[in-house]
Structure 1
């Protein structure tokens, strides 16, 4: 290695810190050395800068809720390692299989086991966390842990043990009517109508209405165009078109325009500014408290359905499930449903929402005998 290269490598190599594990720092330094030898110092510097940019972009494009999941799952992995005496930064086949076994048996903070779906999420996120910390996780070892998880999940089912809350109930048209009729004639009631009716018609997640600004919802002659910018994938970031409904009582366009008109009339023209929240929080005295958060949207939908007496209370995901299942019932094209709701075409989750309600009408045994 030339003296110039040695000087550059020494200056460019990051000092190991808790945020940059030794293994990752050594790998980074090795790359710099190879680039400098192969292409020269200037090219190595530019390549290192490009590598830093790639790391920054990768961090920027990960959704906030995914970052939260990674952090929570890493804490689960740390609790497992503390409970079993295994090193945190090792990922042998045995350690990963022991991890999923521990999660199903006793992994929760209260000493009970996780549902298999939660254990699967924690396993995937823990593997990401290990790799981020410079630990090599082989595909075979991870596959062994997944096979163990699936086998143990089957054993739980055979033993009659069903864990987790299960899939949320889907919203339906009759439920929408019941909810609309239960909403009081107040700004809060108008907000609730608009939140539920528009959310159902574009298959909203809780973060979607929470992330909308006034300028993201535009009235057109045919209805509303909602710019959904909080989606997790390229499919879910979309301009969803919501047409006027045949039934004015449950029309999302009329409900949204009535809510926005009342908000401005009662609380001032500043709420018409395109940069203000489309859906606002309202306290028990009728005061506007600012924009809604995803958690407040979830709580609102549950509260709205409870007030209406919907037999099974809706959750923040009920509106999303509802568009898929009701669209399928009414013969809507699967691709049109996917585009409206921000699913990939032929999405497994969307098809799952549809198939829950197709078990009788679209049944392989129907009409055979």
Structure 2
């Protein structure tokens, strides 16, 4: 098993060889400056890589090392046969419990394992990786033909009845006020779990017509979209009233420091009522599951239910797809957004409807 120390040693050896080549070409001083520039580039790369990406790479590398140990293969070889065998092993028995992964999870682990191999100086050809991916897709088709359905499938979308049930089930505490604000605002700007986790108090501003939420958007190329959330006609599920009530109570009960624009917009609160700092993506996901379960929503919501909900309910209410895309931060005509809408469109906008 490759240790982090061995990986660092490999990188140091490779960097030293590169510096020596620079010194031969450009002189010692220039080589030193180029080495410093490389160090800065490494620091920038580490700074801008999202934490969840780092976690995924680390998890996938552990899957790869388990595979190599199980098959008696060297970790630092990314041959065609090893990669194809890797995907077959993942689908057959790759999980810790001996079950096979869902094809989508196996695809993620394959891509991340290749990244891990290349980071460790292993040459992995595009053709070999492509053959492994083709093998994965073919085996996934075989699973479907055999009647196997793996993975959780698409999360259930939030809806208006669910929002009302959640609003009524939230207790009259600071935690209850936070829960209500988290769900009602998240639904109205189609939040992912990481969106409210990344918001600061200064990112949500009150407007005469509602709230403006500055949401960091994009998985690779980041920008900020200003999602506008209007006052709702129904006060019970009004996101603006819920958020302002939660923030007012937070400052009143826990101190004026929470009014500072740099503090988390949504705070973590433990079962004893202590504030634990800002919520992270995982805690947002857990909170939404817990909140929906408390409200006895028929199918428990997940961290993605609010995002699906805006697209599907917006479509049902006749909202323009471009307006929905802009509000939720999707690319216009996004395939994922259109897929969420199809849940509604598939019944009314249906080629077989009204034929007989």
TM over 0.5: yes
Q: In structure 2, which of residues 21, 42, 54 is the aligned counterpart of residue 55 of structure 1?
A: 42
Q: Of 97, 104, 108, which residue of structure 2 is paired with 1:121? A: 108
- 1:306 matched to 2:331: no
Structure 1 length as normaliser, TM-score? 0.87
1:177-326 correspondence to structure 2 within 5 Å: 177-229=164-216, 232-234=219-221, 237-326=224-313
Equivalents in 2 of 1:47, 1:364: separation in Å? 63
Partner of 2:67: 80
Residues in 2 aligned to 1:361 and 1:117: alpha-carbon distance in whole angstroms: 30
Cα 1:211–1:305 shift into 2, 3 Å: same
* Counterpart contact for 1:212–1:277, Cα < 8 Å: yes
Matched, 1:337 2:299: no
| Alignment of 1:356 onto 2:343 | yes
Whole-Å separation in 1 of the counterparts to 2:278 and 2:12 = 42
Task: Tell me if structure 1 keeps the 8 A contact 2:217–2:329.
Answer: no
Aligned: 1:146 with 2:133: yes
SS in structure 1 opposite 2:226?
strand
What's the C-alpha RMSD, in Å, of the aligned pairs?
A: 2.4
Q: Which moved more, 1:90-99 or 1:278-287?
A: 278-287
Equivalent position SS for 1:18? helix
Structure-2 separation of matches of 1:300 and 1:59: 29
* Other structure's SS at 2:346 match: coil
Deviations 1:65-123 (A, max 9, x none): 01000000000000000000011000111100100000000000011111111111101
Q: Which runs of 5+ in 1 are unaligned?
A: 1-16
Rounded to whole Å, the distance in 2 between the matches of 1:43 and 1:367 is 76
Compared with structure 1, are the counterparts of its residues 91 and 173 closer, same or farther at alpha carbon in structure 2 (3 Å cutoff)?
Answer: same
Q: Structure 2 CA distance, aligned partners of 1:49 and 1:361?
A: 62
Q: Single out whichever of 197-206 and 229-238 deviates more from structure 2.
A: 229-238
Deviation at 1:40, TM superposition (A): 4.7
Instruction: Please say if residues 170 and 318 of structure 1, whose CA atoms lie closer than 8 Å, have aligned partners that are also in contact.
Output: yes
How big is the shift at 1:181?
Answer: 1.9
| 261-270 or 157-166, which deviates more | 261-270
Q: Secondary structure of 1:218's partner?
A: strand
- How far off is 1:39 after superposition? 4.5
5+ residue gaps, structure 2:
none
Structure 1 contact 324–350 (Cα < 8 Å) conserved:
yes
Q: Which residue of 1 aligns with 2:57?
A: 70
Residue 288 of structure 1: how far off its partner (Å): 3.5
CA offsets 1:157-210 (integer angstroms, 9 cap, x no match): 111111112121111122111211222233222211101000111121222222
How far apart are 1:295 and its partner, in Å?
2.3
Change (3 A) 1:43 1:329: farther
Matched, 1:19 2:7: yes
Match of 2:151? 164
The answer on whether the counterparts of 1:235 and 1:342 sit within 8 Å (CA) in structure 2 is no
CA contact (8 A) 2:197 2:280 kept: yes
Following superposition, the deviation at residue 52 of structure 1 comes to 2.8
Residues in 2 aligned to 1:264 and 1:349: alpha-carbon distance in whole angstroms: 39
Of residues 46-55 and 307-316 in structure 1, the stretch that sits farther from structure 2 once superposed is 46-55
**Secondary structure class of the residue paired with 1:274:** coil
Task: Evaluate the alpha carbon distance shift between residue 366 and residue 26 of structure 1 in structure 2; reply closer, same or farther with a 3 A threshold.
Answer: farther
Shift of residue 364 of structure 1? 4.1
Scaled by the length of structure 2, the TM-score of the pair is 0.90
C-alpha distance in 2, partners of 1:243/1:302? 25
Aligned length: 353
- Using the alignment, how far apart are the partners of 1:345 and 1:54 within structure 2? 34
Matches of 1:55 and 1:345, distance apart in 2: 34
TM-aligned CA distance change 1:61 to 1:347, over 3 Å: farther
1:218-273 deviations in Å (ceiling 9; x for gaps)? 11212212222486343564332222223222111111001111222233323222
